[in-house]
Amino acid sequence: MESAKTIFSQYLRKKGMLYSKQREQILDIFLKTEKHPAINNLYDLVRKKNPKIGLATIYRTMEVICDAGLARKLDFGDGTKHYENKYKHPHHHHLICLKCGKIIEITSGKLEEIQRQLAKKHGFTISRDTMKIFGICKTCRRKEKS
């Protein structure tokens, strides 16, 4: 499998865009975070490495990273767009805590099979899917009981 940097640089070249050190730093930092950062979280992480990179550069670069197929934007119900790493990450869904915002990634062959069955039953062709289940995580439930 090609590296994320190779995919990114090929995409930029195909689109006639430059591969810059700043874009590479943003990509590296984004790929190293296993969370689902909002742009401000990513900005804080990037500024620790390179304080000269501005917020607008991060916004634009994340759009390109998404367009290159290495990330996608998600809304977890908090009114903020989050970015999720798609490089070498299997298809999954999310459990989202309404108290602390914790996001748990889940994979389930059973869920995928149910989706396929529902699509077939209704003559529907799935082009993409995402499932978000909102609730309270076990840590927050424990805190409520204390």
Answer whether 4-85 and 93-145 agree in fold: no
Per-residue pLDDT, 1: 66
Per-residue pLDDT, 130: 80
Q: What is the pLDDT along the chain (146 residues), one digit of tens a residue?
A: 689 999 999 999 999 999 999 999 999 999 998 788 999 999 999 999 999 999 999 999 999 999 999 999 988 877 889 899 988 887 788 899 999 888 888 888 898 888 889 999 999 998 888 888 999 999 999 988 88
**What dotted CATH number matches 93-145?**
3.30.1490.190
Query: Contacts for 71-75 with beta carbons within 8 Å, 24 or more apart?
Result: 71/30, 74/36, 74/130
Select from 3.40.50.10740, 3.10.20.90, 1.10.10.10, 3.90.1300.10 the CATH code of 4-85: 1.10.10.10
Q: What span, in angstroms and rounded, lies between the C-alpha atoms of 53 and 49? A: 9
In the chain, what is the straight-line distance between the N-terminal and C-terminal CA atoms, in Å?
Answer: 48
Q: How is the chain split into domains, by residue range?
A: 4-85, 93-145
Asked if residue 132 lies in contact with residue 94, where contact means CB atoms within 8 angstroms, the answer is: yes
Strands 93-97 and 132-135: parallel
Write the single-letter amino acid at 102: K
